[in-house]
Structure formats: structure tokens, C-alpha cells
């Protein structure tokens, strides 16, 4: 039987670009050797994304979509896509064409050889990004690498995954799911291919500064408990330091220079309150993750799904 590919495309407020994206993707994938469908995941868009998708899916049988009841974030959208896809493999791709669709030829060719299970597209050049974005992404990747030993430098969500890998990824039930991390973590045979990030033609990036910071902290915390352990090491270090400080203070008292110790008091109060607050903060991050897990809420809620190829799934 002919193999089928599901291309999962998370979208958030992309009404302006959707029609153009679908036309471009279909044009550029005309000669794909396998059958494919486009599964859009509307991540609770506030513009006309839903209406546009509904319109496209009525005339274009290749297009299906699911729509969230609110914005749950791109990670949830990717997982919803994986859960609702029925292809023999899936490609995850952005809808702004920054992930060049023609790259899928190379991915599919590699997949069809049967020798690779995951094809990761890594960024050869990063396209137009602000210096701030570049620095934060570098910091995040270095921290991720040091804390979890996953090497995510220049990695992207643009990937092809075989069905068997998807099945394993979907078994990971944590609430904060980090797609790039999990797809490495499950193992299997990976192959990296380089691509140049195209520029976004319509609309603007959907990431805000606060969203990016939250994303980085969430992913580090779900993938590594080292920051938590570091607190104890840091605690020992601080205790050592304070023994020296106590020694010094007592000495000053004995030789009659007690008032001068005032500086030490200020420094130590500042230092210890800083340390304590930092440690509490780290513990708090993990506590909040445990809290999320215990609540066991779904990572997304569907408002509507329309599946053109498999009617049993639509409602
Ligand atoms: N996106 C999403 N939910 C969000 C933010 C973004 O589904 O909360 C989608 C967005 O519509 C796009 C993809 O994720 O298809 C990548 O987003 P964007 O182009 O804004 O990110 P950047 O290219 O700047 O990393
Ligand atoms: Mg983009």
C-alpha cells in the first residue's frame, strides 16, 4: 500500500498567510513520491484563522484541521497534531514557510530508504533574528546541553518522524512536553540535514519575550533536575563561606574592632538573602511542575476537528 505522510502545521493568528501557504506548499510538493495530507492545528487563534481553515478544508480534501478552545502554545499544538495524525510518518512544519517545504523531498527520500526513523532539519543559517533572540537561544541551548546532555544547537521543530517514533513520543505523559527534547530522548536512528531558514513573508513572529523566557525555563525544568541538586552544593559552599565569616567576626571582636565588622554583616545579609531567594525560586519551579503533573489536566482542549480523510475522527 502506498505510504502516507501527514504534514502537521501549528498555526496561531495566521489568517493572512494561510491561503498563500497552502497554495505554496501544494505547488512545491507536486512531485512528492508519497501521498500526503495537511493537518493544521489552530492554537486558539483570535483572528480569522479558524474561518479560513474551515473554508479551505471544504474545498481542499487534502486539508484537515483541529482547533483549540484557546491558545495552549506551539508545543501542545505539535502534540495534538501527532495524536490526531494517521500517516505512516509526520512532518512538523511552521506555516510561515520559514521551513522550506521543498526540503520534504529530501526527508521523504531518506525515510523511504528505511534506514532512518527521524530526520532532523538543523538550521545552517538562522534567517533574520534580533540579536536579543540570538543570544537567548544560544544561552538556552548551552544550558540545555550542560544540564541534560541533549545537543539542541541549531535544532528546529522541522522534522520528519516515522510512526513508530511518534507512538513512543506519545507515551511520554508529562504535561510540559518539549517536542525537540523528547524526539531526541526517545532515541531511534536520527539523521540531521541542514536547511537555511527562510524569511517570514507575511505577519510577525508569534513569540513574545515573556513567552520565550517561560518556554526556556519550562523545558530546562522538565528535562533536568540538576538545578535542584545544585542548590545543595551551593548550600555547602555558602556554609563553608559563613564559617570563615564567623571566624573573622569573632577575631575582630576579640581584638576590639567589632564595629568594622558591620561591612561583613551587610555583605553576608545580602549574600545569604540572595542565595535563599534563588534557591527558593528553583525549588518553586520544580514544585510548580509537580503541581501541574498532579493536576493531570489535558495539555489541550479541542473546540472542533475536521478530518477530511478519516471521517470517523471528525465531530
Ligand atoms: N505558533 C503556535 N502557537 C503559538 C505561537 C506560534 O501554533 O502560541 C505557530 C505559528 O503560527 C507558526 C509556528 O508556530 O506556524 C512558528 O511560530 P513563529 O513563526 O511565530 O515563530 P518563529 O519563526 O519566530 O520562531
Ligand atoms: Mg516563523
Per-residue pLDDT of the chain (315 residues), as tens digits, is: 788 999 999 999 999 899 999 999 999 888 888 999 999 999 999 999 999 999 999 898 899 999 999 999 899 999 999 999 988 999 999 998 889 898 899 999 999 998 999 999 888 876 677 777 778 778 888 887 777 777 777 778 899 999 999 999 999 888 888 898 889 888 888 988 888 887 777 777 777 778 778 888 888 888 787 787 788 778 778 877 877 877 887 787 788 776 666 667 777 777 777 788 778 888 888 888 887 788 777 888 888 777 776 444 433
Could you give the strand order of the β-sheet that contains 35-42, starting from the edge strand earlier in sequence?
190-196, 118-125, 159-162, 89-92, 4-11, 35-42, 63-68, 302-306
Element (H, E) at 123: strand 118-125
Q: Does any domain span residue 142?
A: no
Atom of ligand 1 nearest to the CA of 129: 24
242 and 277, same structural domain?
yes
Torsion of CA 206, 170, 147, 239, to 10 degrees: 100
250 and 167, same structural domain?
no
DSSP structural state of residue 23: H
Q: Can you give the pLDDT at residue 22?
A: 94
287 and 166, same structural domain?
no
Atom of ligand 1 nearest to the CA of 14: 11
Q: Does any domain span residue 145?
A: no
User: What's the CA gap between 96 and 13, in Å, rounded?
Assistant: 11
User: What's the CA gap between 93 and 80, in Å, rounded?
Assistant: 14
Alpha helices in the chain (DSSP H): 15-28, 49-59, 74-84, 103-112, 131-148, 163-171, 179-185, 209-223, 226-254, 262-295
Instruction: List the grid coordinates of 19.
Output: 491561503
Nearest CA to ligand 1 atom 25: 205
Q: How many CB atoms lie within 10 A of CB 87?
A: 22
237 and 199, same structural domain?
no
CATH of the domain at 113: 3.90.550.10
* Phi and psi based region of residue 142 (left: phi greater than 0; alpha: psi -120 to 50; beta: remaining): alpha
104 and 80, same structural domain?
yes
Torsion of CA 75, 45, 159, 296, to 10 degrees: 20
Q: Does any domain span residue 140?
A: no
Q: Does any domain span residue 214?
A: no
Question: Roughly what angle, to the nearest 10 degrees, separates helices 74-84 and 163-171?
Answer: 120
User: What's the CA gap between 122 and 300, in Å, rounded?
Assistant: 28
| Dihedral (CA of 165, 167, 173, 175) sign | positive
193 and 115, same structural domain?
yes
Q: How far is the CA of 276 from the centre of ligand 2 (A)?
A: 39
98 and 233, same structural domain?
no
Q: Total structural domains in the chain? A: 2
44 and 124, same structural domain?
yes
Nearest CA to ligand 1 atom 19: 205
Q: Does any domain span residue 22?
A: yes
What are the angstrom distances between the C-alpha of 276 and each of 61, 187, 269, 291? 58, 38, 10, 22
Which structural domain range is residue 290 located in?
226-295
49 and 160, same structural domain?
yes
Q: Can you give the pLDDT at residue 312?
A: 40
Element (H, E) at 121: strand 118-125
Ligand 1 pocket member 93 (CB < 6 A)? no
- Interior angle at CA 84, CA 194 and CA 215, nearest 5: 55
Ligand 1 pocket member 71 (CB < 6 A)? yes
Q: Does any domain span residue 196?
A: yes
Q: Does any domain span residue 314?
A: no
User: What's the CA gap between 18 and 132, in Å, rounded?
Assistant: 28
Q: Which residues surround ligand 2, an ion (CB under 5 A)?
A: 94, 96, 98, 200
158 and 269, same structural domain?
no
Q: Does any domain span residue 253?
A: yes
Provide CB contacts within 8 A for 184, sequence distance 6+.
150, 151, 152, 190
Ligand 1 pocket member 154 (CB < 6 A)? no
- If one residue of 92, 94, 137 were mutated to test the ligand 1 pocket, choosing by the most ligand atoms within 8 A of its CB, it would be 94
Q: Can you give the pLDDT at residue 7?
A: 96
280 and 302, same structural domain?
no
222, 178 contact by CB (below 8 A): yes
Ligand 1 pocket member 137 (CB < 6 A)? no
Ligand 1 pocket member 11 (CB < 6 A)? yes
User: What's the CA gap between 80 and 63, in Å, rounded?
Assistant: 16
Q: Can you give the pLDDT at residue 245?
A: 78
- Interior angle at CA 104, CA 99 and CA 107, nearest 5: 115
163 and 101, same structural domain?
yes
Torsion of CA 114, 184, 181, 92, to 10 degrees: -10
Amino acid at each position: 500500500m502506498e505510504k502516507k505522510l501527514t504534514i502537521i502545521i501549528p498555526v496561531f493568528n495566521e489568517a493572512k498567510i494561510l491561503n498563500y501557504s497552502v497554495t505554496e506548499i501544494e505547488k512545491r510538493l507536486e512531485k512528492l513520491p508519497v501521498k500526503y495530507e495537511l493537518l493544521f492545528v489552530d492554537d486558539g487563534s483570535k483572528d480569522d484563522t479558524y474561518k479560513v481553515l474551515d473554508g479551505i478544508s471544504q474545498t481542499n480534501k487534502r486539508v484537515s484541521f483541529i482547533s483549540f478552545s484557546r491558545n495552549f502554545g506551539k508545543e501542545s499544538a505539535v502534540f495534538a497534531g501527532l495524536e490526531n495524525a494517521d500517516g505512516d510518518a509526520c512532518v512538523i512544519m511552521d506555516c510561515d514557510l520559514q521551513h522550506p517545504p521543498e526540503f520534504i523531498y529530501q526527508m521523504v527520500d531518506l525515510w523511504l530508504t528505511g534506514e532512518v526513523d527521524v530526520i532532523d532539519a538543523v538550521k545552517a543559517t538562522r534567517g533574520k533574528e534580533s540579536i536579543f533572540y540570538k543570544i537567548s537561544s544560544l544561552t538556552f541551548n548551552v544550558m540545555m546541553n550542560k544540564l541534560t546532555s541533549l545537543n539542541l544547537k541549531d535544532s528546529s521543530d522541522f522534522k520528519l518522524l516515522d510512526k513508530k517514533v511518534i507512538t513512543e513520543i506519545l507515551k511520554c505523559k508529562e504535561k510540559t512536553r518539549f517536542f525537540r527534547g523528547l524526539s531526541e530522548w526517545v532515541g531511534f536512528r536520527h539523521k540531521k540535514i541542514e536547511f537555511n531558514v527562510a524569511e517570514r513573508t507575511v505577519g510577525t513572529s508569534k513569540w513574545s519575550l515573556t513567552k520565550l523566557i517561560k518556554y526556556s525555563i519550562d523545558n530546562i525544568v522538565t528535562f533536568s533536575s540538576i538545578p535542584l541538586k545544585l542548590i545543595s552544593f551551593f548550600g555547602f559552599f555558602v556554609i563553608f563561606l559563613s564559617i570563615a565569616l564567623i571566624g573573622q567576626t569573632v577575631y575582630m571582636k576579640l581584638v576590639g574592632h567589632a564595629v568594622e565588622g558591620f561591612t561583613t554583616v551587610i555583605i553576608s545579609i545580602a549574600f545569604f538573602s540572595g542565595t535563599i531567594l534563588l534557591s527558593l525560586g528553583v525549588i518553586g519551579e520544580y514544585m510548580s511542575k509537580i503541581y501541574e503533573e498532579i493536576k493531570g489536566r489535558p495539555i489541550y482542549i479541542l473546540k472542533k476537528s475536521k478530518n477530511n480523510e478519516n471521517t470517523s475522527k471528525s465531530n
